[in-house]
Amino acid sequence: EPEVTQTPSHQVTQMGQEVILRCVPISNHLYFYWYRQILGQKVEFLVSFYNNEISEKSEIFDDQFSVERPDGSNFTLKIRSTKLEDSAMYFCASSGVDAGANVLTFGAGSRLTVL
């Protein structure tokens, strides 16, 4: 079963530091996403990415955040100057084309703790 791989599984950082979360989507998928889940709350959409550009982003995804697909396999989320409220679980997801475009496969998540 193909899967989405995320690293690191848990990262602890100091407030104000930069963090990069990495994801390897399923190889033949073309749509990539980042979602966030603050502890005890619902899963929130951050950004979607297609054809090497952002296709949609939420209000949460401000200038502090950026995404990149630096090579043919990785999809990264960068958080500049982290804040305490950025502490959350960050999920990467990917989806295919046609009938598969609406079915997202999620990674196991990266837990970010900002101190």
Q: Does 12 bind other proteins (CB under 8 A)?
A: no
Give residues 63-92 in contact with other proteins (rule: CB under 8 A). Answer: 89, 91
Distances, alpha carbon 82 to alpha carbons 22, 29, 63, 78, 111, in Å: 16, 30, 12, 10, 14
Q: Distance between CA 91 and CA 23 in Å, rounded? A: 9
Q: Does 33 bind other proteins (CB under 8 A)?
A: yes
Provide the token pair at 28.
Answer: 């033949």
Q: Do 28 and 96 contact (CB within 8 A), yes or no?
A: yes
Residue 83 Cβ vs other proteins, minimum distance, rounded to whole Å: 21
Give residues 38-57 in contact with other proteins (rule: CB under 8 A). Answer: 41-45, 48, 55-56
Q: Which residues in this chain contact other proteins in the complex, by CB under 8 A?
A: 31, 33, 35, 37, 41-45, 48, 55-56, 89, 91, 93, 95, 101-109, 111
